[in-house]
Amino acid sequence: MEKFERVQVIMLPIDKGIIIKRNITNELKFSSLNNPLLWTPQHLYIISDDEIKEGDLFIGDGASLKQCTLNNGGNINFKGGWYSGSSNCKKIIATTDTSLKWEFKGIQMSRMFELPQPSQQFIEKYIKSYNKGNIITEVLVEYEWKGKKYVDDQDTFGYDKQILRINPKDNTIIIKEVKDNWNREEVIALLKAKTELHTNSWLSSDMQWIEENL
């Protein structure tokens, strides 16, 4: 079962990047050109309120990039201080910066992985929108439910964990534009997905309610 979650998009200056900003006009360009007198390299970061776990990368105060380690109390540790569930911390779930890696720590081994990336199509759309004065600050990112189905106290169905959906071919995430309105067919699809997630069935009474109310 798939679903989309609303997340934030930010752009930060960096030493090297695949996006550059003209210093005089602030125009963006898709390029790795390195000319600090004319252009400032940038990277995009997709950030969310997902739980920050050990080895994850996150944005801290002052839009600074940090990697999470945990103290014995479960607080987030980084050089220079501590975070304890601060709302200022946002987990980086994807970025154009391929040098960033998160660490998986298993029982017998640990391994570094590249963070997922937004697609080139999204990067080009972001640049085009930015140069028109329409800065994309939020998008919808696809997640998928994994694990076993369960039945809760109200006898409704669900799954035990939700993870970011990643295209294994190119390590990219699936992004959709945030919408403020929907047509009838889209509303029906949303209602059907929600109904099937919780009850595992789509009843004729559901369709009857739609016919009477939409």
Tokens representing 121? 């199509």
Residues 147-158, mean pLDDT to the nearest whole number: 51
Do 72 and 139 have their domain in common? yes
As a whole number of angstroms, the distance between CA 183 and CA 187 comes to 6
pLDDT at 111: 72
As a whole number of angstroms, the distance between CA 66 and CA 57 comes to 6
pLDDT at 171: 93
Do 161 and 67 have their domain in common? yes
Reported as a pLDDT band with limits 50, 70 and 90, residue 136 is very high
Least confident of 33-42, 55-64, 74-83, 203-212: 74-83
Do 207 and 119 have their domain in common? no
| Residue from 193, 191, 198, 194 nearest 154 by CA | 198
Do 108 and 213 have their domain in common? no
CB count in 10 Å sphere of residue 91:
19
Question: By residue range, what is the domain housing residue 155?
Answer: 2-179
Do 6 and 85 have their domain in common? yes
Statement: residue 84 has pLDDT above 50: no
The count of domains in the chain is: 2
Do 43 and 97 have their domain in common? yes
Q: What's the first-to-final CA gap in the chain, in angstroms?
A: 25
Statement: residue 33 has pLDDT above 60: yes
Do 118 and 156 have their domain in common? yes
Do 109 and 8 have their domain in common? yes
Contacts of 193 (CB under 8 A, 6+ apart): 1, 3
CB count in 10 Å sphere of residue 150:
10
pTM of the model: 0.73
Tokens representing 63? 């839009």
pLDDT at 152: 53
